């Protein structure tokens, strides 16, 4: 790892901090994760003391440096007049419970995963908690030796949010984590699809391929949305009853209809429609 360069603040910075600018945001070029050089804090203290008309021995705790400066985690001297404020802001936020995607959002999903908690979550409330957690655990708030863990946590929060707000991905996640059923495996797909279901899928695919106008596509899309809603309702009941076989069947059907929805959104006259499974 490349060693951080030494940074000596200019007199412009010292004079700036000596004035009433504690609530202002300093330019980022002054706060670029560079450690203070030896003697910098002493010069800063002297400059502030002189501007306040205080004696050299009188403590100067009335106005700490800007919050952004404290968050750079660089004021490490135990004798610094701002050591108290530094200890207040230097700690990183406590990590969330990463046991599951549901435990990451304790405010929205207090009851956890189904059957105790709901299958369909409150999207608006979950988004608000997600944004709050992303801001709280932003990688820039962690020291350099914890950047990798912070990046991994941020990625996990994003993946959890996208999964819990998508019924198909959420069903696949629950089947995998609760019942060890991988819906991307061929065995799971084949065992959850019967002949009647295959015929319905083939008919829907042919109808989408034969559509000649946007009105035809709109009709097919409305019919397909009803199928999706039925599957989501079936998944809600299956997970509440802990019926993994019904949940597997409903999830397989939902994957076909979600694929058809995407195909209808990208429909073009004469373009063949192929469903992914």
* Band of residue 63 on the pLDDT scale cut at 50, 70, 90: very low
* Angle, CA of 70, 91 and 149, to the nearest 5°: 110
> What is the reported pLDDT for 103?
95
pLDDT of 25:
45
41 CB neighbour count, 10 Å cutoff? 19
Arithmetic mean of pLDDT, 206-232: 93
pLDDT, residue 160, reads 97
Please enumerate in sequence order all residues whose Cβ is within 8 A of that of 275, keeping only pairs 6 or more positions apart, or say none. 201, 204, 205, 256, 259, 260, 263
Asked if 241 and 151 count as a contact pair (C-beta separation under 8 A), the reply is no
Q: In Å, what is the CA distance from 39 to each residue of 19, 140, 156, 188, 192?
A: 20, 26, 42, 67, 71
Residue 87, pLDDT > 60, answer no
Mean pLDDT of 131-141: 91
pLDDT-derived band at 112, boundaries 50, 70, 90:
very high
Give the integer Cα–Cα distance in Å for 277 and 258: 10
Rounded to an integer, what distance in angstroms lies between the CA atom of residue 270 and that of residue 212?
7
Q: Report d(CA 196, CA 87) in Å as an integer.
A: 67
DSSP class of 7: B
DSSP code for 37: P
Q: Would you call 106 helix, strand, or coil by DSSP?
A: coil
Give the number of other Cβ atoms within 10 Å of residue 264's Cβ. Answer: 19
Residue 247, pLDDT > 80, answer yes
Task: Specify the pLDDT at position 272.
Answer: 74
- Helix or strand run (H / E) with residue 90: helix 83-90
């Amino acid at each position: 790892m490349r060693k951080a360069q030494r940074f000596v603040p200019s007199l412009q910075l010292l004079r700036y901090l000596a004035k009433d600018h504690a609530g202002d945001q300093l330019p980022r070029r002054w706060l670029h994760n560079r450690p203070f050089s030896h003697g910098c804090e002493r010069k800063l203290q002297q400059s502030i003391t002189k501007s306040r008309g205080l004696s050299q021995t009188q403590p100067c705790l009335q106005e700490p440096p800007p919050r952004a400066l404290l968050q750079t985690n660089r004021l490490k001297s135990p004798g610094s007049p701002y050591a108290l404020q530094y200890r207040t802001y230097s700690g990183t936020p406590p990590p969330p419970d990463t046991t599951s995607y549901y435990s990451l959002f304790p405010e929205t999903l207090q009851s956890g995963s189904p059957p105790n908690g709901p299958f369909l979550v409150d999207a608006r409330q979950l988004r608000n908690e997600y944004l709050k957690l992303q801001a709280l655990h932003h990688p820039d708030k962690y020291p350099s030796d914890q950047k990798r863990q912070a990046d991994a946590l941020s990625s996990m929060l994003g993946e959890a949010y996208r999964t819990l707000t998508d019924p198909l991905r959420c069903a696949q996640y629950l089947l995998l984590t609760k019942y060890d059923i991988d819906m991307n495996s061929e065995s799971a797909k084949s065992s959850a699809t019967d002949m009647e279901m295959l015929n319905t899928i083939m008919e829907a695919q042919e109808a989408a391929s034969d559509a000649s106008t946007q009105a035809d596509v709109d009709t097919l899309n409305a019919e397909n949305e009803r199928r999706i809603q039925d599957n989501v309702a079936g998944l809600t009941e299956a997970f509440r009853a802990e019926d993994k076989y019904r949940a597997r069947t409903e999830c397989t059907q939902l994957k076909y209809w979600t694929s058809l929805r995407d195909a209808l959104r990208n429909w073009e006259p004469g373009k063949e429609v192929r469903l992914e499974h």
